[in-house]
Chains A and B, each alone.
Chain A
């Protein structure tokens, strides 16, 4: 080491890394995020009999149950979109949110070695946990193709916006996931709260019902839920449902704000991860 001027210098001080240092680290960890995601994907599908079929079965079964329940018992009307298509897309997105959020929130408490025995950009772990679910979403949406053919529906040009809505789904999940992953390290009993939150979330999100009928000031409140806008966009781009209302912009805004809050909370709690886990 004749010249050490170009050696990367790393300073560990009481407050932890600066925001700039953290972003640089995260950028350097992009390959690692890929490896971690691939590890999750491979191990998930190596162990299960159904393999990728599971990605389809989960939303399909949910959709089938609600198809019977809502059309025969309650009697909802999503006309002109067939209810099966409507609820299936809802469940593909919901399954992603629920499963990815859960696995991201437990990423540290389940792998304490990753915190106490080694250091890498810790943001990489919860982010990587959100990636494998995207494969399930794509597989689920592929199954939508024969369903669309059977109902003789075409999504039309809005299909080109699908990648954007998938990105929005990812972003909407990221904020809450970052928060939960960091807080669960410190507060283990938060797990119950998380379970309750997910249950509530399923009811206030238009997964199994149509939200377009909601009117007045409540409507804005309703679309403060990031998933509400994302679902409207996903249905518009895939099954030719009505275009997302202007309030969907609020959903996306809230999703972005939640990512910022999530980053802030994560940074705050990250400092003591190795000491409290």
Chain B
């Protein structure tokens, strides 16, 4: 194992902004000629470093998740690794056949049948004809649309098209697989199948890089995560630790930047979500004592029939709780002002990482939702596995008697 599957050495990527240079919208000959003849100054408005000195290695067989805000540089990493674009400086090396899934169905042609598109798309992704022949039945079976395989793709629903496209890509025999957000599309059933397939791929010992906003998916599939912020690696390590730092910063950042206030005109706006224990905000709490979920929101008109829910999921993807205030206090009727809601959770939860979200529903309509509002790592006692939602740690009894 001399050479890792993936290695980035001080990779940087610069984009020139503006029309004269390599703008993202394509330049024009006129601009290029006039600037070269010095008839007009080049219209370069500046530069943007999508990546700056990014270095990391991924050994063979490891699955790694990349998190970060939009525009942080996650996709640029994948584009450089899959050679869609070149680095401005630095070197990216991959050892093994690479399959990149930056978008499903690239090159699908609506006039061609499903069968024809499987071959075309497979070839675009780098499969040999003989390889597609061999796996054709598997691909069609997995897509779940064998009856339509000889129908032109233009008659497919978008869901069918997506299933077929993902199926082709999932059967690509690549040693290294890059997946970017594709699992964020499609219905819940499709997403479940995608995740299951990716888990199988990982079990087969292939190397996977998964870029996603779906933190549950990352924590379930990847033991290691990379957090990229403004083109640099902010954190690299065990998934739970990285996600903890990421969500923590994310929540604080949005509050600092006042993003929760962006709807200043909104009648109902969230101000904060956090997890506390013993009266103090904590990213890590003891699961032997109660924890409190706090949220604060503003209303700017009188509201009636308001329901607020806390949600909690653990990083195995299981929903731990959905607690609605209406079930305990009844629906809320509030005058304009700032309102604080607290839910005390008794010490029954298992150890592990949990993500807290909130939902505000008025008169049956969802008005506000924040799925990744806060992160809490519960520590203390617990079973070895974090797959269990609850850990009671008490309640047992044992009575014995002698045999008659």
Bind each other: yes
Query: Contacts A13-B87, A42-B111, A118-B124 hold; do A1 and B106 have CB atoms under 8 A apart?
Result: no
- Residues in chain A near residue B95, CB distance under 8 A: 4, 7-10
Q: Are B91 and A118 in contact (CB under 8 A)?
A: no
Q: Are B84 and A118 in contact (CB under 8 A)?
A: yes
Residue with the greatest number of chain B CB neighbours at <10 A, chosen from A11, A118, A189? A118
Contact of A35 among B80, B88, B123 (CB under 8 A): B123
Q: What is the bound-complex CA distance between A193 and B96, given in angstroms?
A: 43
B26-34, B134-142, B335-343: which one contacts chain A? B26-34
**Interface residues of B, Cβ cutoff 8 Å to A:** 1-3, 5, 15, 22-30, 32, 60-61, 79-98, 100, 102-103, 106-107, 109, 111-112, 116, 119-120, 123-126, 128-129, 175, 205
Q: List 14 A-B contacts (CB under 8 A).
A: A7-B175, A12-B80, A12-B83, A14-B90, A16-B86, A31-B123, A31-B128, A35-B119, A42-B112, A185-B26, A187-B29, A189-B30, A275-B22, A276-B26
A98-106, A108-116, A174-182: which one contacts chain B? A108-116
Q: What is the bound-complex CA distance between A32 and B2, given in angstroms?
A: 33
List 9 tightest A-B contacts by C-beta distance, closest first: A187-B29, A274-B85, A43-B111, A117-B103, A7-B96, A12-B92, A35-B123, A32-B123, A189-B28
A252-277 residues with Cβ-Cβ distance < 8 A to B are: 271-272, 274-277
- Residues in chain B near residue A15, CB distance under 8 A: 86
- Residues in chain A near residue B82, CB distance under 8 A: 118-119
- Residues in chain A near residue B28, CB distance under 8 A: 187-189
Q: How far is the CB of A272 from chain B (nearest CB, A)?
A: 5
Q: How far is the CB of A2 from chain B (nearest CB, A)?
A: 9
Q: Are A113 and B106 in contact (CB under 8 A)?
A: yes
Q: How far is the CB of A112 from chain B (nearest CB, A)?
A: 9
- Residues in chain B near residue A1, CB distance under 8 A: 60-61, 96, 175, 205
- Residues in chain B near residue A113, CB distance under 8 A: 103, 106-107
Residue of B nearest to A35 (CB): B123
A219 at interface by CB-CB < 8 Å: no
Q: Are A43 and B112 in contact (CB under 8 A)?
A: yes
Q: What is the bound-complex CA distance between A116 and B92, given in angstroms?
A: 18
Contact of A116 among B30, B84, B93, B107 (CB under 8 A): B84
Q: Are A39 and B126 in contact (CB under 8 A)?
A: no
A120 at interface by CB-CB < 8 Å: yes
Q: Are A275 and B112 in contact (CB under 8 A)?
A: no
Q: What is the bound-complex CA distance between A274 and B23, given in angstroms?
A: 10
Residue of B nearest to A44 (CB): B111
**Interface residues of A, Cβ cutoff 8 Å to B:** 1, 4-5, 7-17, 31-32, 35-36, 38-39, 42-43, 46-47, 111, 113-120, 185-190, 193, 271-272, 274-277
Q: Are A118 and B116 in contact (CB under 8 A)?
A: no
- Residues in chain B near residue A8, CB distance under 8 A: 95-97
- Residues in chain A near residue B22, CB distance under 8 A: 272, 275-276
Q: How far is the CB of A18 from chain B (nearest CB, A)?
A: 13
- Residues in chain B near residue A189, CB distance under 8 A: 28-30
Q: Are B109 and A39 in contact (CB under 8 A)?
A: yes
Q: Are B112 and A39 in contact (CB under 8 A)?
A: yes
Residue of A nearest to B107 (CB): A114
- Residues in chain A near residue B86, CB distance under 8 A: 12-16, 271
Contact of A275 among B85, B111, B116 (CB under 8 A): B85
Q: What is the bound-complex CA distance between A43 and B123, given in angstroms?
A: 17
- Residues in chain B near residue A119, CB distance under 8 A: 82-84, 100
- Residues in chain B near residue A120, CB distance under 8 A: 124, 126
Q: Are A186 and B26 in contact (CB under 8 A)?
A: yes
- Residues in chain A near residue B85, CB distance under 8 A: 274-275
Q: How far is the CB of B245 from chain A (nearest CB, A)?
A: 29
Q: A120-B124, A189-B28 are in contact. List 13 more A-B contacts (CB 8 A).
A: A4-B5, A4-B60, A8-B96, A11-B92, A12-B86, A13-B86, A32-B124, A117-B106, A118-B82, A274-B85, A275-B22, A275-B24, A275-B85
Q: How far is the CB of B103 from chain A (nearest CB, A)?
A: 4
Q: How far is the CB of B215 from chain A (nearest CB, A)?
A: 24
Q: How far is the CB of B205 from chain A (nearest CB, A)?
A: 6
Residue of A nearest to B79 (CB): A274
Residue of B nearest to A274 (CB): B85
Q: Are A117 and B102 in contact (CB under 8 A)?
A: yes
Q: Are B120 and A39 in contact (CB under 8 A)?
A: yes
Q: What is the bound-complex CA distance between A202 and B15, given in angstroms?
A: 41
Q: Are B111 and A10 in contact (CB under 8 A)?
A: no
Residue of A nearest to B28 (CB): A189
- Residues in chain B near residue A9, CB distance under 8 A: 3, 93-95
Q: How far is the CB of A206 from chain B (nearest CB, A)?
A: 30
Residue of A nearest to B113 (CB): A42
Q: What is the bound-complex CA distance between A15 and B91, given in angstroms?
A: 10
Q: What is the bound-complex CA distance between A275 and B116, given in angstroms?
A: 31
Contact of A276 among B27, B107, B116 (CB under 8 A): B27
- Residues in chain B near residue A38, CB distance under 8 A: 116
- Residues in chain A near residue B109, CB distance under 8 A: 39, 43
Contact of A12 among B30, B81, B125 (CB under 8 A): B81
- Residues in chain B near residue A14, CB distance under 8 A: 86-90
Q: How far is the CB of A188 from chain B (nearest CB, A)?
A: 5
Q: What is the bound-complex CA distance between A188 and B32, given in angstroms?
A: 11
- Residues in chain A near residue B79, CB distance under 8 A: 274
- Residues in chain B near residue A193, CB distance under 8 A: 29
Q: What is the bound-complex CA distance between A274 and B95, given in angstroms?
A: 23
Residue of A nearest to B80 (CB): A12
